[in-house]
Protein backbone atom coordinates (compact mmCIF):
# COMPACT_ATOMS: atom_id res chain seq x y z
CA UNK A 1 0.00 0.00 0.00
CA UNK A 2 2.55 2.52 1.11
CA UNK A 3 4.40 1.34 -1.92
CA UNK A 4 3.09 3.77 -4.42
CA UNK A 5 3.36 6.49 -1.89
CA UNK A 6 7.03 5.66 -1.63
CA UNK A 7 7.78 6.23 -5.27
CA UNK A 8 8.54 9.86 -4.52
CA UNK A 9 12.07 11.02 -5.31
CA UNK A 10 13.43 10.62 -1.86
CA UNK A 11 16.67 8.85 -2.58
CA UNK A 12 18.62 11.60 -4.21
CA UNK A 13 21.96 9.85 -4.00
CA UNK A 14 24.88 11.49 -5.78
CA UNK A 15 23.94 9.32 -8.76
CA UNK A 16 20.59 10.94 -9.26
CA UNK A 17 22.00 13.94 -11.04
CA UNK A 18 23.32 11.63 -13.74
CA UNK A 19 19.98 10.11 -14.57
CA UNK A 20 16.66 11.50 -15.69
CA UNK A 21 13.40 10.58 -14.00
CA UNK A 22 12.70 7.73 -16.43
CA UNK A 23 13.39 4.27 -15.05
CA UNK A 24 14.91 3.23 -18.35
CA UNK A 25 17.41 6.15 -18.52
CA UNK A 26 18.16 5.66 -14.85
CA UNK A 27 18.99 1.96 -15.28
CA UNK A 28 21.11 2.62 -18.37
CA UNK A 29 23.09 5.29 -16.46
CA UNK A 30 23.44 3.18 -13.31
CA UNK A 31 24.40 -0.13 -14.91
CA UNK A 32 26.87 1.56 -17.27
CA UNK A 33 28.71 3.17 -14.34
CA UNK A 34 31.53 1.73 -12.24
CA UNK A 35 30.57 0.63 -9.64
CA UNK A 36 27.03 -0.13 -10.82
CA UNK A 37 24.06 1.38 -8.99
CA UNK A 38 20.27 1.72 -9.13
CA UNK A 39 18.41 4.14 -6.85
CA UNK A 40 16.42 2.70 -3.95
CA UNK A 41 13.42 4.76 -5.00
CA UNK A 42 12.74 2.02 -7.57
CA UNK A 43 12.20 -0.55 -4.84
CA UNK A 44 8.68 0.67 -4.28
CA UNK A 45 6.48 -0.78 -6.97
CA UNK A 46 3.37 -2.59 -5.66
CA UNK A 47 5.32 -5.77 -4.80
CA UNK A 48 8.21 -3.82 -3.24
CA UNK A 49 5.87 -1.73 -1.14
CA UNK A 50 4.18 -4.85 0.15
CA UNK A 51 7.56 -6.35 0.97
CA UNK A 52 8.59 -3.16 2.79
CA UNK A 53 5.44 -3.40 4.93
CA UNK A 54 6.49 -6.99 5.76
CA UNK A 55 9.99 -5.76 6.67
CA UNK A 56 8.53 -3.33 9.21
CA UNK A 57 7.01 -6.31 11.07
CA UNK A 58 10.16 -8.46 11.13
CA UNK A 59 11.70 -9.27 14.53
CA UNK A 60 15.14 -8.06 13.36
CA UNK A 61 13.88 -4.77 11.86
CA UNK A 62 13.74 -2.64 15.01
CA UNK A 63 13.24 0.92 13.50
CA UNK A 64 9.47 0.92 12.91
CA UNK A 65 8.58 -0.77 16.16
CA UNK A 66 10.99 1.38 18.17
CA UNK A 67 9.85 4.65 16.64
CA UNK A 68 6.20 3.75 17.29
CA UNK A 69 7.02 3.05 20.93
CA UNK A 70 8.88 6.37 21.28
CA UNK A 71 5.96 8.25 19.72
CA UNK A 72 3.47 6.48 21.97
CA UNK A 73 5.48 7.00 25.13
CA UNK A 74 6.43 10.61 24.40
CA UNK A 75 3.28 11.72 22.63
CA UNK A 76 2.32 14.25 25.30
CA UNK A 77 5.80 15.80 25.35
CA UNK A 78 5.84 15.95 21.56
CA UNK A 79 2.38 17.52 21.60
CA UNK A 80 3.87 20.25 23.80
CA UNK A 81 5.84 21.46 20.76
CA UNK A 82 2.67 21.83 18.68
CA UNK A 83 1.14 25.34 18.81
CA UNK A 84 -2.58 26.03 19.18
CA UNK A 85 -4.58 25.49 15.95
CA UNK A 86 -1.49 24.38 14.05
CA UNK A 87 -1.37 22.29 10.85
CA UNK A 88 0.59 19.02 10.86
CA UNK A 89 2.30 18.58 7.48
CA UNK A 90 3.53 15.02 6.90
CA UNK A 91 6.25 14.63 4.26
CA UNK A 92 5.87 11.42 2.22
CA UNK A 93 2.96 9.85 4.01
CA UNK A 94 3.08 6.09 3.74
CA UNK A 95 0.87 4.80 6.47
CA UNK A 96 -0.81 7.44 8.66
CA UNK A 97 -0.24 5.24 11.73
CA UNK A 98 2.52 7.44 13.19
CA UNK A 99 0.77 10.73 12.43
CA UNK A 100 -2.34 9.44 14.18
CA UNK A 101 -0.39 9.01 17.42
CA UNK A 102 0.62 12.68 17.25
CA UNK A 103 -2.89 13.79 16.23
CA UNK A 104 -4.48 11.85 19.10
CA UNK A 105 -2.08 13.46 21.60
CA UNK A 106 -2.51 17.00 20.24
CA UNK A 107 -6.19 18.05 20.23
CA UNK A 108 -4.97 21.61 19.57
CA UNK A 109 -4.19 20.59 15.97
CA UNK A 110 -6.62 22.13 13.48
CA UNK A 111 -5.41 20.51 10.26
CA UNK A 112 -3.52 17.51 8.92
CA UNK A 113 -1.78 17.85 5.54
CA UNK A 114 -0.44 14.52 4.25
CA UNK A 115 1.88 15.10 1.27
CA UNK A 116 2.66 12.32 -1.17
CA UNK A 117 3.21 11.77 -4.85
CA UNK A 118 0.44 9.17 -5.13
CA UNK A 119 -2.91 11.00 -5.30
CA UNK A 120 -5.03 7.85 -5.13
CA UNK A 121 -3.19 6.47 -2.12
CA UNK A 122 -3.46 9.85 -0.39
CA UNK A 123 -7.18 10.14 -1.05
CA UNK A 124 -7.74 6.74 0.54
CA UNK A 125 -5.63 7.55 3.63
CA UNK A 126 -7.17 11.02 3.97
CA UNK A 127 -10.69 9.58 3.89
CA UNK A 128 -9.81 7.18 6.71
CA UNK A 129 -8.37 9.98 8.89
CA UNK A 130 -11.44 12.17 8.17
CA UNK A 131 -13.70 9.35 9.26
CA UNK A 132 -11.76 8.64 12.48
CA UNK A 133 -10.84 12.22 13.44
CA UNK A 134 -13.77 14.31 12.18
CA UNK A 135 -12.77 17.48 14.11
CA UNK A 136 -9.56 18.01 12.13
CA UNK A 137 -9.39 19.42 8.58
CA UNK A 138 -7.65 16.81 6.40
CA UNK A 139 -6.08 18.52 3.38
CA UNK A 140 -4.03 16.09 1.26
CA UNK A 141 -1.46 17.46 -1.19
CA UNK A 142 -0.36 15.25 -4.10
CA UNK A 143 3.22 16.40 -4.66
CA UNK A 144 6.83 15.24 -4.67
CA UNK A 145 7.74 16.25 -1.14
CA UNK A 146 11.45 16.43 -1.95
CA UNK A 147 10.76 19.47 -4.12
CA UNK A 148 9.19 22.81 -3.29
CA UNK A 149 5.40 22.53 -3.22
CA UNK A 150 2.49 24.77 -2.25
CA UNK A 151 0.71 24.24 1.05
CA UNK A 152 -3.12 24.41 0.93
CA UNK A 153 -4.37 28.03 1.22
CA UNK A 154 -6.58 27.00 4.19
CA UNK A 155 -3.49 26.68 6.42
CA UNK A 156 -1.78 29.86 5.27
CA UNK A 157 -2.38 31.67 8.53
CA UNK A 158 -1.82 28.67 10.80
CA UNK A 159 1.38 27.68 12.62
CA UNK A 160 2.96 24.71 10.79
CA UNK A 161 4.52 21.55 12.16
CA UNK A 162 6.40 19.28 9.75
CA UNK A 163 6.43 15.52 10.40
CA UNK A 164 8.99 13.21 8.78
CA UNK A 165 9.05 9.85 10.58
CA UNK A 166 10.55 6.48 9.63
CA UNK A 167 14.19 7.57 9.28
CA UNK A 168 13.50 8.07 5.62
CA UNK A 169 15.98 10.92 6.02
CA UNK A 170 18.62 8.18 6.37
CA UNK A 171 18.04 7.14 2.75
CA UNK A 172 19.31 10.52 1.59
CA UNK A 173 22.99 11.27 1.20
CA UNK A 174 23.82 13.54 4.18
CA UNK A 175 24.19 16.60 1.93
CA UNK A 176 20.79 15.84 0.39
CA UNK A 177 19.33 15.37 3.88
CA UNK A 178 20.54 18.88 4.75
CA UNK A 179 19.06 20.21 1.53
CA UNK A 180 15.77 18.42 2.21
CA UNK A 181 15.48 19.97 5.70
CA UNK A 182 16.31 23.39 4.26
CA UNK A 183 13.63 23.00 1.59
CA UNK A 184 11.12 21.74 4.20
CA UNK A 185 11.86 24.91 6.16
CA UNK A 186 11.11 27.01 3.06
CA UNK A 187 7.80 25.23 2.55
CA UNK A 188 6.75 25.42 6.22
CA UNK A 189 7.92 29.00 6.77
CA UNK A 190 9.48 30.98 9.60
CA UNK A 191 8.39 29.92 13.08
CA UNK A 192 7.73 26.32 11.99
CA UNK A 193 8.42 23.19 14.01
CA UNK A 194 9.69 19.92 12.52
CA UNK A 195 9.43 16.45 14.08
CA UNK A 196 11.84 13.96 12.49
CA UNK A 197 12.52 10.26 13.13
CA UNK A 198 16.20 9.29 12.83
CA UNK A 199 17.80 5.87 13.19
CA UNK A 200 20.87 5.81 15.46
CA UNK A 201 24.35 4.29 15.19
CA UNK A 202 24.44 1.20 17.35
CA UNK A 203 25.91 -2.28 17.79
CA UNK A 204 26.92 -3.43 14.30
CA UNK A 205 25.39 -6.88 14.84
CA UNK A 206 21.98 -5.29 15.48
CA UNK A 207 22.31 -3.13 12.35
CA UNK A 208 23.46 -5.99 10.14
CA UNK A 209 20.68 -8.29 11.39
CA UNK A 210 18.02 -5.67 10.61
CA UNK A 211 18.98 -5.76 6.92
CA UNK A 212 19.74 -9.53 6.75
CA UNK A 213 16.62 -11.03 8.29
CA UNK A 214 16.41 -14.77 8.75
CA UNK A 215 13.17 -15.04 6.76
CA UNK A 216 14.84 -13.48 3.70
CA UNK A 217 12.25 -10.72 3.23
CA UNK A 218 14.88 -7.98 2.83
CA UNK A 219 16.66 -10.16 0.25
CA UNK A 220 13.38 -10.52 -1.66
CA UNK A 221 12.81 -6.76 -1.38
CA UNK A 222 16.27 -6.05 -2.81
CA UNK A 223 16.02 -8.65 -5.60
CA UNK A 224 12.56 -7.35 -6.55
CA UNK A 225 14.27 -4.44 -8.29
CA UNK A 226 15.61 -6.99 -10.84
CA UNK A 227 12.11 -8.41 -11.30
CA UNK A 228 10.94 -4.88 -11.93
CA UNK A 229 13.65 -4.35 -14.58
CA UNK A 230 12.66 -7.64 -16.21
CA UNK A 231 8.99 -6.64 -16.30
CA UNK A 232 9.21 -2.95 -17.14
CA UNK A 233 12.42 -2.82 -19.20
CA UNK A 234 12.26 -6.19 -21.01
CA UNK A 235 15.18 -7.39 -18.91
CA UNK A 236 16.47 -10.95 -18.65
CA UNK A 237 18.01 -10.94 -15.16
CA UNK A 238 18.18 -14.45 -13.73
CA UNK A 239 17.38 -13.80 -10.06
CA UNK A 240 19.09 -17.00 -8.97
CA UNK A 241 22.43 -15.70 -10.24
CA UNK A 242 22.35 -12.63 -7.96
CA UNK A 243 22.34 -12.48 -4.20
CA UNK A 244 21.35 -9.88 -1.61
CA UNK A 245 24.23 -8.30 0.31
CA UNK A 246 23.77 -5.80 3.12
CA UNK A 247 26.42 -4.62 5.56
CA UNK A 248 27.22 -1.73 7.84
CA UNK A 249 29.92 0.57 6.45
CA UNK A 250 31.62 1.94 9.58
CA UNK A 251 33.47 4.66 7.71
CA UNK A 252 30.32 6.21 6.25
CA UNK A 253 27.94 5.22 9.08
CA UNK A 254 25.50 3.56 6.71
CA UNK A 255 23.98 0.24 5.82
CA UNK A 256 24.73 -0.48 2.17
CA UNK A 257 22.55 -2.81 0.18
CA UNK A 258 23.91 -4.45 -2.96
CA UNK A 259 22.98 -7.17 -5.42
CA UNK A 260 25.99 -9.36 -6.10
CA UNK A 261 26.47 -11.29 -9.31
CA UNK A 262 27.25 -14.93 -8.48
CA UNK A 263 28.97 -15.53 -11.80
CA UNK A 264 30.41 -13.75 -14.81
CA UNK A 265 27.42 -12.97 -17.01
CA UNK A 266 25.80 -10.54 -19.44
CA UNK A 267 22.30 -9.24 -18.93
CA UNK A 268 19.99 -7.25 -21.19
CA UNK A 269 17.64 -4.52 -19.92
CA UNK A 270 16.29 -1.27 -21.37
CA UNK A 271 17.59 -2.35 -24.79
CA UNK A 272 21.24 -2.51 -23.59
CA UNK A 273 23.59 -5.28 -22.63
CA UNK A 274 25.52 -5.10 -19.37
CA UNK A 275 28.45 -7.30 -18.32
CA UNK A 276 28.92 -8.47 -14.77
CA UNK A 277 32.07 -10.00 -13.34
CA UNK A 278 31.65 -12.69 -10.71
CA UNK A 279 31.32 -10.85 -7.37
CA UNK A 280 30.49 -7.49 -8.97
CA UNK A 281 27.58 -5.68 -7.33
CA UNK A 282 24.80 -3.23 -8.09
CA UNK A 283 24.63 -0.74 -5.20
CA UNK A 284 20.91 -0.32 -4.49
CA UNK A 285 20.54 1.54 -1.19
CA UNK A 286 22.25 3.49 1.57
CA UNK A 287 20.61 3.84 4.95
CA UNK A 288 22.60 6.37 6.98
CA UNK A 289 22.67 6.16 10.76
CA UNK A 290 23.35 9.17 12.98
CA UNK A 291 24.23 9.96 16.56
CA UNK A 292 21.92 12.40 18.35
CA UNK A 293 24.69 14.99 18.06
CA UNK A 294 25.54 14.37 14.41
CA UNK A 295 21.87 14.73 13.50
CA UNK A 296 21.58 17.95 15.51
CA UNK A 297 24.59 19.30 13.61
CA UNK A 298 23.00 18.34 10.29
CA UNK A 299 19.74 20.04 11.30
CA UNK A 300 21.62 23.17 12.41
CA UNK A 301 23.46 23.29 9.07
CA UNK A 302 20.02 23.23 7.42
CA UNK A 303 18.95 26.30 9.43
CA UNK A 304 16.93 24.56 12.17
CA UNK A 305 17.37 25.01 15.94
CA UNK A 306 17.30 21.82 17.97
CA UNK A 307 14.48 21.82 20.55
CA UNK A 308 14.17 18.27 21.95
CA UNK A 309 15.11 14.63 21.38
CA UNK A 310 13.30 11.48 22.52
CA UNK A 311 14.90 8.03 22.35
CA UNK A 312 14.10 4.50 23.50
CA UNK A 313 15.88 2.84 26.43
CA UNK A 314 18.39 1.04 24.19
CA UNK A 315 19.10 4.28 22.25
CA UNK A 316 18.29 2.51 18.99
CA UNK A 317 16.15 5.27 17.47
CA UNK A 318 15.51 8.97 18.00
CA UNK A 319 12.72 11.46 17.39
CA UNK A 320 13.73 15.12 17.24
CA UNK A 321 11.79 18.37 17.51
CA UNK A 322 13.38 21.24 15.57
CA UNK A 323 12.40 24.91 15.39
CA UNK A 324 12.87 27.47 12.70
Contacts with ligand AVI, residue ranges (CB under 6 A): 55, 63, 166-168, 170-171, 211, 218, 285, 287
CA atoms within 13 A on the CB side of 167: 27
Q: How far is the CB of 199 from ligand AVI (least distance, A)?
A: 7
Q: Is 37 helix (H, G, I), strand (E, B) or coil?
A: strand
Which conformational region is residue 271 in: left (phi greater than 0), alpha (psi within -120 to 50 degrees), or beta?
left
> Pairing mode, if any, of strands 160-164 and 137-138?
unpaired
Q: How far is the CB of 290 from ligand AVI (least distance, A)?
A: 12
Nearer to ligand AVI among residue 66 and residue 193 (C-beta): 66
Q: How far is the CB of 314 from ligand AVI (least distance, A)?
A: 17
Nearer to ligand AVI among residue 12 and residue 218 (C-beta): 218
CB-based closest residue to ligand AVI: 287
Check if the beta carbon of residue 99 is closer than 8 Å to that of residue 138: no
Nearer to ligand AVI among residue 138 and residue 225 (C-beta): 225
Question: What is the 3-state composition of the chain as percent helix, strand, coil, each rounded to the nearest 5?
Answer: 40, 25, 35
Nearer to ligand AVI among residue 292 and residue 307 (C-beta): 292
Check if the beta carbon of residue 321 is closer than 8 Å to that of residue 78: yes
- Computed on alpha carbons and rounded to an integer, the radius of gyration of the chain in Å comes to 20
Q: How far is the CB of 277 from ligand AVI (least distance, A)?
A: 25
Task: Show the CA angle centred on residue 54, arms to residues 48 and 55, nearest 5°.
Answer: 85
Nearer to ligand AVI among residue 63 and residue 159 (C-beta): 63
Nearer to ligand AVI among residue 60 and residue 104 (C-beta): 60
Q: How far is the CB of 137 from ligand AVI (least distance, A)?
A: 28
Q: How far is the CB of 142 from ligand AVI (least distance, A)?
A: 20
Amino acid sequence: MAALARSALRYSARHEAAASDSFSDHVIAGLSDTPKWVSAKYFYDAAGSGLFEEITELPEYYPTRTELSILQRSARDIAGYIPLSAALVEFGTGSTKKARIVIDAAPQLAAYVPVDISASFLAQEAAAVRRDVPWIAVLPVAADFTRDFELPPQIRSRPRVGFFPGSTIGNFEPSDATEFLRQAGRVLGQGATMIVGVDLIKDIAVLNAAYNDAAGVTAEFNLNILTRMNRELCGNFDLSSFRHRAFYNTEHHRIEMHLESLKSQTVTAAGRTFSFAKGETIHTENSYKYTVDSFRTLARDAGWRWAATWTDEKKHFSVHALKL
